[in-house]
Structure 1
Amino acid sequence: MTETNRTLPPEALDAWAHALRERFGLGEDDIPISLILDLARDVANGVARPAAPLSAFVAGLVAGRAGGSPADVQSAVTSITEAAKSWDG
């Protein structure tokens, strides 16, 4: 079995975000990379690592259902981050 390095350097993350924007017709502000990475960090540290991608998905779902504006994204991420910081699971 061949091992691959799954660590993504910052420039590759930017390239991936650009590819996603192109594929789905998204604007520059539609993918707030640092906000999502901060969400993942806070959830991984406050809850558990596997909870990070789930939480990012839920943030997108909640934001989309609220209208999908950048403010909706910020609100959903803030709410999930606050929940993670107070998690005592």
Structure 2
Amino acid sequence: MNSTPAKGSPEEKAAMLAWLDDVADQLGIDRDEERALVGEILQLTSTVAHDRSRPAAPVTAFLIGLAAGRAGTDPTELIAAVRERAASGGKTED
């Protein structure tokens, strides 16, 4: 039987990090780089989910990763800019 760790528990965090390490390995992403961004991405998705749209949260993270990958840049600045926009209540359409 596969039991799910309690929400917010150390076991849940360990399971998340193990999963992310596996995915990083599969995608050829350095684990240190992946680990450095986990907190920022979780803050981003929380802000988007609470201030904009819950379903938009994971897609926003994906779009930032896609943009950063295509540009060959560090996603940190993109994460901060999008998180600020989401939290500010600024206009979402141009």
Same fold, TM-score > 0.5, yes or no: yes
Structure 2 equivalent of residue 86 of structure 1: 88
Output aligned runs, 1:24-39, within 5 Å. 24-31=27-34, 32-39=37-44
| 1:44 is aligned to 2:46 | no
Q: Where does the alignment leave 5 or more consecutive residues of structure 1 unmatched? A: none
Question: Which residue identity is paired with 1:50?
Answer: P
Equivalent pairs counted in the alignment come to 83
Offset at residue 5 of structure 1 (A): 5.5
Could you list the runs of 4 or more consecutive aligned residues of structure 1 that deviate by over 3 angstroms after TM superposition?
4-8
Given that residues 25 and 31 in structure 2 are in contact (C-alpha distance below 8 angstroms), is that contact kept between their aligned partners in structure 1?
Answer: no
The TM-score with structure 2 as length reference comes to 0.75
The TM-score with structure 1 as length reference comes to 0.78
CA RMSD, 1 decimal: 2.2
Aligned-residue sequence identity (percent) comes to 34
Structure 1 equivalent of residue 60 of structure 2: 55
- Report 1 or 2 for greater relative contact order, CA contacts < 8 Å, sequence distance ≥ 6: 1
